[in-house]
Structure 1
Amino acid sequence: MIRTLALFIFAVSASAPVFAEESSPPWSMADQYFDTDEMAHARHHILSHHGATRQLSIMADRLEVQSADEGDTLVWDGNAWYGGDVNKLWLKSEGDYSLESDELEEAEVQALWSHAISPYFDLQGGLRYDLEPKGRTHAVLGLQGLAPYWFEVDAAAFLSSEGDLTARMEAEYEFRLTQRLILQPRVEAELSAQDIPDLETGSGLTSLNAGLRLRYEIIREFAPYIGVEWQGSFGGTADYLEAAGEDSDRAVFVAGIRAWF
């Protein structure tokens, strides 16, 4: 206990300018006064209690109903993770359920291993399985984190069991109008390296969604919101939609909740 306290004191004092050039790394200074093996054990003890603890987070980032002329759609986008500061196990899921036709239109689940490669970004890899459509399996490689100026970004590439290469990029930002009222712009883009006729997807930029959501945090863990979103399709994907008699772009009104614990 004394050695652990001594290590903490040396680590704090080493951050002062007078010690800045006398130690590298700063907390190795304690090795001059205590047994090296015992200090290594003390360092491990401190790391275990100040950074290596395991935590669990579950979040429904978007649970909303989107209303358009074609009908209403229930949309979910959620995740859960377990782990420490460096390594985590992530589970992600998102999808659409048509309330008009009473059927599942799109749904996927991802299981990812996440490793911190910087203080603000994690490299993620794992598997994605599409429940709808077509039930395909994908290998996933992605990057998630906090970009400069507090933009939350999530980008991933997917290689399906059919050999199709696609990608998805998301970016969000939060304007705190008050302590509880938050305006959140959000953009999501999807791309494909090739035409995928089975999924009615063209190559290049396939879709782009851009929206604004205004939420009120009743408590930090629970916030209802309303908003609007523009959804557009491009290239071959737009051609597939128009051939089926559907619009290649539309504006929707959204209402939902964001919750976490």
Structure 2
Amino acid sequence: MTARTTTRPFTRLSALALALLAFVPLHGVHAQSHGGHDEHGHAHQHQENPPAKPESPPKAPATDVDHSKMDHSGMDHSTMDHSGIDHSKHASPDASQPKTPIPPITDADRAAANRPLRHTMSHGSSLHRFYRVDRLEAWDADHGTGLHWEAEAWIGTDTDRLWIRSAGEREAGETHAADLELLYGRSISAWWDVVAGVRHDFKPGDSRSFAAVGVMGLAPQKFEVEATFYAGEGGQTALVLEAERELLLTNRLILQPSIEVELHGRTKVERGIGSGLGGIEAGLRLRYEITRRFAPYVGIVHERSVGRTADLQREEGEGTEETRAVIGMRVWF
């Protein structure tokens, strides 16, 4: 009875001791395990290795920015983008841009490029001369062959010239119109001359003289223009306007349209001239230049009298318009 009682407490104590002995090693091993973890993750002050560099805090996730609510007035947009970083010092050179910047075009540059043509001749004073029969043409009229001529000549320098011009018309062996002009011409620009002098009319009617002043030259679109004002005895005045243009069809074949208009200040019954617009002549001539100095041509010419001049011609039993085919030549030397 006594032995059983003593053995049970001993047995219990032995079991408790064994349990304690078993617990102590397990706790030490567990502590060593935690110490090794701290050596890599959370360092303590008694460790010999230097503390590791702390990691930067995690970045916040990117969110969309509403630029409409941001104030960009203080930002230099020429060198900075919307992030505020200056890229002008780091931008690589653009191969398409010139190394030397080209300055902007100014009004002075435009004026220099479109400078008006100035007539600054510095030619010598040597004399030159020129003669031309511009039109010598014939046609078949009702009372025989008709003949018309226009000729001009000049002598002088490049800026000062003495001009002689003549025009007239014959039909059936009778002269119906003839005049001669003696003019002094002065060049006022690269393309225009001013002329002044006298004109003498032999026909129609009695011969008489006029003072003449006008301009002649090359207008835009290559129109050759002559405008001459005449003032004669008894207050008689007239203005003659002529224009023509040469259209080059080939190197030798040239089409030349022309128009001439006459206006008169007063009515002269004895000369068959009425005041106002008196006559219009339009022509179309096609010439072939065998050489530059000689060119035959064919053409068609239409003449018409209007206004008071037409009334005077009707009273004399004459027609007021005529259309004719002409053949002629142009010569200069």
**2:175 pairs with one of 104, 112, 116:** 104
Change (3 A) 1:163 1:83: same
Structure (1 or 2) with the greater strand fraction? 1
- Larger RCO, structure (CA 8 Å, separation 6 or more): 1
Partner in structure 2 of residue 146 of structure 1: 218
Partner in structure 2 of residue 125 of structure 1: 196
CA shift digits 1:198-223 (9 cap, x unpaired):
21111111000001000000110000
Identify which range, 236-245 or 149-158, moves more after superposition.
236-245
Mapped partners of 1:67, 1:222: distance in 2: 23
Mapped partners of 1:112, 1:69: distance in 2: 36
Mapped partners of 2:162, 2:240: distance in 1: 20
Amino acid paired to 1:119: A
Secondary structure class of the residue paired with 1:194? coil
CA shift digits 1:42-98 (9 cap, x unpaired):
xxxx94xx4543210000000111334454311110000011121100000000111
Mapped partners of 1:229, 1:51: distance in 2: 42
Does 1:202 pair with 2:274? yes
Partner in structure 2 of residue 249 of structure 1: 321
**1:218 pairs with one of 287, 290, 293:** 290
Secondary structure class of the residue paired with 1:162? helix
Secondary structure class of the residue paired with 1:253? strand
Mapped partners of 2:258, 2:140: distance in 1: 18
Contact 1:68 1:253 in 2 (8 A): no
TM-score by length of 1: 0.78
Amino acid paired to 2:313: L
Deviation of 1:161 after TM superposition, in Å, equals: 2.3
Mapped partners of 2:311, 2:275: distance in 1: 11
Mapped partners of 2:124, 2:221: distance in 1: 25
Partner in structure 1 of residue 164 of structure 2: 91
Mapped partners of 1:70, 1:194: distance in 2: 31
Mapped partners of 1:231, 1:51: distance in 2: 44
Does 1:190 pair with 2:262? yes
Secondary structure class of the residue paired with 1:239? helix
The size of the alignment, in residue pairs, is 214
Partner in structure 2 of residue 235 of structure 1: 307
Mapped partners of 1:81, 1:238: distance in 2: 35
Partner in structure 2 of residue 35 of structure 1: none
Unaligned runs of 5+ in 1: 1-16, 21-45
| Deviating 4+ runs (over 2 angstroms) | 50-53, 66-72
Deviation of 1:162 after TM superposition, in Å, equals: 3.0
CA shift digits 1:158-215 (9 cap, x unpaired):
1112320011111010001000000000101111012111211111110000010000
Superposition CA RMSD, Å:
1.7
TM-score by length of 2: 0.62
